[in-house]
Amino acid sequence: MGKQMTEMLKGTLEGIVLAILSVRPAYGYEITARLRDEGFADIAEGTIYALLVRIEQKGFVDVEKVPSEKGPPRKVYSLNAQGREYLDEFWTTWGFLAERLEQLHTEGGN
C-alpha cells in the first residue's frame, strides 16, 4: 500500500471499522474481507485484529464467541452505546477535517 494511505488510515481506520459494526455485528475475518472488497486491498489482517482488541479494551464493542462451520470459533463484535457515542464524535471530527481539506483543495486550484 502507499505510505500516504498507511499514514492517512491512522485514526480513520478505527472509525471505518466502527462504522461497519454500526450497520451490523461482524467478526475479524469478515471485516478484513469486506474492506478488501471495498477497495482497501492491502490492509493487513493483523492490523484489523489488533484494532479489534483495542476497541474492545476501550469498551466500544461487545464480544460474543460463535462456533464456525469452517475453522476456529469466531469472535463476533457488536457496537454498544459507548461505541456509538464515540462513532458520533468520529464523524464530527472527520466532517471538520474533510471540510477544511475540501476548502484547501478548491483554493489550491487543482
Residues making contact with a copy of itself (CB under 8 A): 2, 4-12, 14-16, 19-20, 22-23, 38-40, 88-91, 93-94, 96-98, 100-101, 104-105, 107-108, 110
Q: Nearest Cα to 20, choosing from 101, 89, 83, 93? A: 83
What is the CB neighbour count within 10 angstroms for residue 42? 11
Cβ 4 to a copy of itself shortest distance, Å: 5
Q: Which does 64 bind (CB under 5 to 8 A by kind): a copy of itself, DNA, none?
A: none
Dihedral class, residue 92 (left if φ above 0, else alpha if ψ from -120 to 50, else beta): alpha
What is the C-alpha to C-alpha distance for residues 86 and 66, in angstroms, rounded to an integer?
26
Name which position in 20, 21, 28, 87 contacts DNA (CB under 7 A).
28
Name which position in 39, 72, 108, 109 contacts DNA (CB under 7 A).
72
